[in-house]
A and B are shown apart, each in its own frame.
Chain A
Amino acid sequence: MAILEVNDIRKSFDKTEVLKGISFSLEKGQVVSIIGSSGSGKTTLLRCLNFLEKPDGGTIAVNGETLFDAADPATQRESEIRKKRLHFGLVFQNFNLFPQYTALENVMLAKELLAKEQPGYKSRRRDIHDEIRVQAESLLRQMDLGDRMENYPHQLSGGQQQRVAIARALALQPDILCFDEPTSALDPELTREVLRVIRGLADKKTTMIIVTHEMAFARDVANHTIFMDDGHIVEQGDPQQVFSHPTQERTRRFLDSFNQ
């Protein structure tokens, strides 16, 4: 069964239709890369999946459970949307780390707040805190940041900040981790270190949706590639197929622009 099923998602801002019916599905442990020019709707799609935008039409289902149905207001209650968001993680283009917290605190914060809502938290406060800390430390080490845990975001390079952001998203163990152009704010050297850790996650069968302009990376890391243009999915399929033998003229033109 597909872990994620997105069906006919539509979204307009004022009179501009940004998503014109997007459908795709994703198996557990798969990586999908989404490519396309700026303004094609890639970012909006990720924001819809994370409930930062409310689609005007379509459905989103995770593990067979319909999380969102534009036709069913019962699936759109603010109180439940918060829990539904936890199925997804999102790594932003500009990191959005919390500047007043250290790297470690950034990774721990949300998990601690969630733990506080659990019954019986008070009596086990110490243990829970320690568990969360151990998990956060191990995530940061996994991101090669073992020696940077006590640093504040402004003391870190862009690449380090983005790796903290990835650890922060992973801490909540989302079913699907989304990346919104994770390296667009980074120079080539820093890009490489971030792509390396994402590759590591793919090797561990982390289910991911990656919006990126790094074409070689989009081809190599993904099991499935989607090419979007003007709010539509123009072409999708096996990455080798899409990159080497695109069937659509629009896809070919887009890919050619990277080879010039």
Chain B
Amino acid sequence: MDLELILEQMPVVIHSLNIGFLQTLKLFSVTLLGALPLGLIIAFGSMSRFKPLSWLCRVIVWIVRGTPLMIQLLIIYYFPGLVLKNAIWGGGESGRFMAASVAFIFNYACYFSEIYRGGIQSVPKGQQEAGLVLGMTRTQIFFKVTLLQMIKRIVPPISNEIITLVKDTSLARIIALQEIIWAGQAFLKGSQGISGAIWPLFFTAVYYLIFTGILTILLGRLEKKLDYFR
């Protein structure tokens, strides 16, 4: 493998990887948009005083955290069509994207819910009581008092999950979602006149590295921003 050949292949490969990375970004964003709020709902569910609900939420969290995301992807994508004979996802890339989004949102919501739960429970009870004594409603106490303290506490662990998510999106390759790994791999099998090239697959790592780098800086800034109180 010589450098000249790589340079020659570069424009085609970069173009292809860019398209793949766009799909990676899309899955990443959709997962965050869905999982961040859903996680909060699950967190409240598992803290509910209504036992059947909290029990149900905890069992779901156990199952989702206790099995590989890759298996969840496969089941969510293939189960409706193969077993139920009802291909709810439809064909093609959009169907794969839908299935992958559902699997990722659900999986990450469960992880987030545990982080939220820890965050909520770590805010001292006295904060809630101070709010009550001042005639605030529980909703007001949550949004005006507890929420920001909780956010401050969960930013570091959530950042960690977000960085992991960037790389976990590559698991969607298993259902042939055309994200960046898929795009890089294509040149191994042969695509656009290039075949047997493994360097594009290796090169995808650069994309992940740059993106997680940017996220690390942004999340670090958010953490700093919340430094004004303790």
Give A contacts to B, CB under 8 Å. 50-52, 82-83, 85-86, 88-90, 92, 94, 96-100, 109-110, 113-114, 152-154, 168-169, 172
Contacts and interface: CB of A to CB of B under 8 A. Distances in A.
Contact of A99 (B132, B133, B135, B230): B230
A94 B137 CA distance: 22
Contact of B129 (A52, A82, A114, A154): A52
B140 to A, nearest CB: 5
Among A50, A92, A110, A168, which residue has the most Cβ atoms of chain B within 10 A? Answer: A110
Contacts of A51: 132
Which among B127, B145, B148 has the greatest number of chain A C-beta atoms within 10 A? Answer: B145
Contacts of B127: 96, 98
B229 interface: yes
Contacts of A99: 149, 229-230
A83 B135 contact: yes
A89 B133 contact: yes
Contact of A100 (B126, B130, B132, B148): B148
B158 to A, nearest CB: 18
B130 A154 contact: no
A110 B229 contact: no
9 contacts: A50-B133, A90-B133, A92-B129, A96-B129, A109-B134, A154-B229, A168-B134, A169-B133, A172-B135
Contacts of A110: 131, 134-136
B130 to A, nearest CB: 4
Contacts of A90: 133
Contacts of B152: 100
- Which 8 A-B residue pairs are closest in the complex by CB-CB distance? A110-B134, A96-B130, A96-B126, A154-B230, A99-B229, A90-B133, A100-B229, A86-B135
A113 B229 CA distance: 22
Contacts of A98: 127, 130, 145
B124 interface: yes
Contacts of B124: 96
Nearest to B140: A113
A90 B133 CA distance: 7
B144 interface: yes
A52 B133 contact: yes
A210 to B, nearest CB: 16
Contacts of B144: 109, 113
Given A99-B149, A99-B230, A113-B144, A92 B126 contact: yes
Given A96-B126, A96-B130, A109-B134, 7 more contacts: A82-B132, A92-B126, A97-B130, A100-B229, A113-B136, A113-B140, A172-B134
Contacts of B134: 109-110, 168-169, 172
A113 B143 CA distance: 12
Contacts of B131: 110
B50 interface: no
Contacts of B135: 82-83, 85-86, 110, 114, 172
A114 B140 CA distance: 10
A114 B131 CA distance: 12
Interface string B130-170: 11111111001000110011001000000000000000000
A100 to B, nearest CB: 5
Contacts of B130: 92, 96-98
A8 B203 CA distance: 78
A96 B124 CA distance: 9
A37 to B, nearest CB: 23
B133 A152 contact: no
A97 B137 CA distance: 17
A94 B230 contact: no
Contacts of B137: 82
Nearest to A171: B134
A114 B148 CA distance: 21
B2 to A, nearest CB: 59
A248 B129 CA distance: 36
Contacts of B145: 98
Contact of A85 (B133, B148, B229): B133
Contacts of B126: 92, 94, 96
A92 B128 CA distance: 12
Contacts of B140: 113
B83 to A, nearest CB: 47
